[in-house]
Structure 1
Amino acid sequence: MLADDCSISADQQDEVRAAARKALADAAAFGVLPTPVDRILEAAKVEVFPMKIDEDYLARLRRKAESAGRALLSAISKVWGVFDPKARMAFIDPETPKEKLPFLKLHEGGHAVLPWQSIFGLFEDCRKTLDPDVKAQFEREANVFASEVLFQLDQFAHDARDLSFGIKAPLALAKRYGASVYATVRRYVSTSDRICAVVVLNPPEPAERHGHFSQLRRAVVSPSFEGRFPRFRWPEVYTPDDPIGALVPYGRMTAARTLVLTDTDGGRHPFVGEAFKTPHQTFVLLLAEATIGRKLIVPLQRLAI
Structure 2
Amino acid sequence: MRELVGQSEQRDIDLLIDKILRDLGRPEPPLDLRMVRELLRLDRMYYSSTDVGPLAEFAHRVKVAGKRLVEDPKLILDVVKKAKLSGLWLPDDRKILIDKEVPELKHRWIEAHEISHSFVPWHNEFLLGDTEITLAPDCNEIIEAEANFGAGRMLFLGDKFSIEAKDYETSFKSVQALKGRFGNTLTSTFWRFVEDRDPLEPTFGLISTHPNHADIGPTEDGSGVHYFIKSAAFRNMFPTVTAAQLFELIRLRTSWKRRGPVVEGTAPLMDGGGSSRTIVLDGFCNTHQVLTLGRLAR
TM-score, normalised on structure 1?
A: 0.77
Correspondences of 1:146-165 after superposition (within 5 Å):
146-165=151-170
Aligned residue for 1:229?
238
Contact map agreement 1:189 1:220 (CA 8 A) in 2: yes
3-state SS of 2:253 partner: helix
3-state SS of 1:246 partner: coil
Correspondences of 1:32-111 after superposition (within 5 Å):
32-52=28-48, 61-66=58-63, 76-111=82-117
Contact map agreement 1:6 1:144 (CA 8 A) in 2: no
Contact map agreement 2:194 2:205 (CA 8 A) in 1: yes
Change in 2 beyond 3 A, CA 1:159/1:269: same
Higher deviation after alignment, 190-199 or 95-104: 95-104
2:18 alignment partner AA: R
Number of residue equivalences: 270
1:188 alignment partner AA: F
Aligned residue for 1:246?
253
Correspondences of 1:251-270 after superposition (within 5 Å):
251-254=259-262, 256-263=264-271, 266-270=274-278
Question: What displacement does 1:79 show?
Answer: 2.6
Contact map agreement 1:214 1:245 (CA 8 A) in 2: no
Match of 1:11 among 8, 11, 14: 8
Q: Measure, in 2, the Cα distance between the counterparts of 1:165 and 1:22.
A: 30
Higher deviation after alignment, 262-271 or 7-16: 262-271
Contact map agreement 2:60 2:68 (CA 8 A) in 1: no
Question: What displacement does 1:61 show?
Answer: 3.1
Higher deviation after alignment, 4-13 or 44-53: 4-13
Contact map agreement 1:53 1:81 (CA 8 A) in 2: no
Q: Deviations along 1:273-292, whole A, 9 cap, x unmatched?
A: 111001221011111013xx
Change in 2 beyond 3 A, CA 1:255/1:200: closer
Question: What displacement does 1:176 show?
Answer: 1.2
Q: Deviations along 1:246-276, whole A, 9 cap, x unmatched?
A: 2356131136422212346653211111110
Match of 1:201 among 205, 208, 213: 208
Identity %: 23
Aligned residue for 2:120?
114
Contact map agreement 1:5 1:140 (CA 8 A) in 2: yes
3-state SS of 1:179 partner: coil
Higher deviation after alignment, 166-175 or 242-251: 242-251
1:43 alignment partner AA: L
Which structure features the higher share of helix residues? Answer: 2
Change in 2 beyond 3 A, CA 1:70/1:112: farther
Stretches of structure 1 lacking an aligned partner (at least 5 in a row) = 124-132, 208-212, 291-305
Match of 2:296 among 273, 285, 288: 288
Aligned residue for 2:186?
181
Higher deviation after alignment, 113-122 or 242-251: 242-251
Over the residues paired in the alignment, what is the CA RMSD in angstroms?
A: 3.3
Aligned residue for 1:126?
none
